[in-house]
Amino acid sequence: MCKICENHGAKGKWYNNAKNYLKETAVEAHTYEYLEELWGNLERAYIRKVHGILNMKGLSKRANTPLIGRFLKWYANRGFMKDGRKKNLVLKAEQGHLGQVLPLEEAKFILREFVEEAAIYYCPCKYFNRGLRETSCLAFSPLIEVLPKLPRYIPENGLEIIDAEKAESFLDKMAKKGYVQSVWCGPVPAIIGICNCDIQSCGALRLRQFGVNACLKSEYVAVVNSDKCIGCRICVSVCQFGALSFIPSVNRPIIKPELCFGCALCQTRCENDAIQLVDRNEIPITRGQY
Amino acid sequence: MGKNKVKIKINYSKCTQPEDCRICLQVCPPAVFNLIFTDKDYHNPKDWKIIAVFPLLCLNSTECSICVDNCPRQAINIKLKK
């Protein structure tokens, strides 16, 4: 169990706790003001200076310097974990905007059980990192109410609100394209949506290359069952995190558990059910590594 | 990650319409460039500009020069530090 699961999960996973989807939690965590301020300035997220000194651009340069780098990373990582209900967030550092990668099945489970309505909108990360206008993110109720104030995230045909079944088929389509699913909160306990992105275009996932954990790994690790595997290499071509590699002499892939994010892309693509998800804490190398 | 020493320069007198062009953003595999607002007037798209946010991710150590080749105004310059 990760840190937010311990604090907000009610003895389970934090995104499977129905309380985090309620409107009351969103009001308590100041989600509406938070989203207006942060999402209005999301394009400047990397260059806004915090306390007049630090920004993400500078942090990436200094991340490997011995003492200063360690302090900066510690400060950034601690900020992402902060609770929005205590009202001491530094918005310029995007404090409280934390996400977690999750398997496709669990993302569908969220839509089935906890969410009544969702809306598809333009992904802001893909616009300022890639220059692409692509409708690839799902917004839940607190974000849907804020989006009309931010017209550049609304698609050409207007913001259409869809039910859970349509949203599930939309996630299927995105997973087929090869995107990783992740669930996001406004300030920490309130959940605002599900994103579909890849590691280089996502504004938060790419920061993991510098040791900044804005997006946590999922609760699982993928494991190959070499009896069922036939060596078709599809899973190797799909993985974005470089965790899978193919060994020609045995004609089987191997997974490095310390690199695996547990996104289950390889599992959904495998035609022979040869890849299974195992709890992250059952493997000694990855225990507690999020 | 820290050993990759690359200097990326963008000539802003040549890069005049970043909002309409954005080719370097779409072409670069590790997405080194970033479209941002200037601090003065960030609601006006004419004042937006392109910067190299994460030059550490640049693949120029393997002699990738896809952004230099594709830029229609020849505004990008890459140098490898020794």
Taking the CA of residue B61 and the nearest CA in chain A, the distance in Å comes to 17
CB B48 within 8 A of CB B19: yes
Mean pLDDT of A204-215: 89
Question: Is the CB of B1 less than 8 angstroms away from the CB of A57?
Answer: no
User: Nearest Cβ partner of B26 from A57, A63, A131?
Assistant: A131
Q: Examine the pLDDT at A253 and tell me if it is beyond 80.
A: yes
CB A111 within 8 A of CB A181: no
Give the nearest chain B residue to A48 (CA atoms): B39
Q: Examine the pLDDT at A223 and tell me if it is beyond 90.
A: yes
Q: Examine the pLDDT at A173 and tell me if it is beyond 80.
A: yes
| pLDDT tens digit sequence for A82-121 | 888 886 788 777 888 899 999 999 999 999 989 888 999 9
Looking at chain A from residue 208 to 237, which residues have their Cβ under 8 Å from any Cβ of chain B? 209-210
Q: Which helix (H) or strand (E) holds A161?
A: strand A161-162
| pLDDT tens digit sequence for B4-20 | 678 888 998 888 888 78
The token pair at A172 is 């299927």
Which neighbouring-strand residues pair with A184?
A: A99, A193
**Tens place of pLDDT per residue across chain B (82 aa):** 446 678 888 998 888 888 788 888 889 988 888 887 765 555 666 777 888 888 888 887 777 888 899 999 899 988 887 6
Mean pLDDT of A196-225: 90
Going by pLDDT thresholds of 50, 70 and 90, the confidence category of residue A225 is very high
User: Nearest Cβ partner of B26 from A41, A57, A132?
Assistant: A132
Which ipTM score applies to this complex? 0.80
User: Nearest Cβ partner of A44 from B30, B37, B57?
Assistant: B37
Question: Is the CB of B57 less than 8 angstroms away from the CB of A209?
Answer: yes
Question: Is the CB of A210 less than 8 angstroms away from the CB of B1?
Answer: yes
Phi and psi torsions of B57, nearest 5°:
-85, -5
Asked if A204 reaches chain B (Cβ–Cβ under 8 Å), the answer is: no
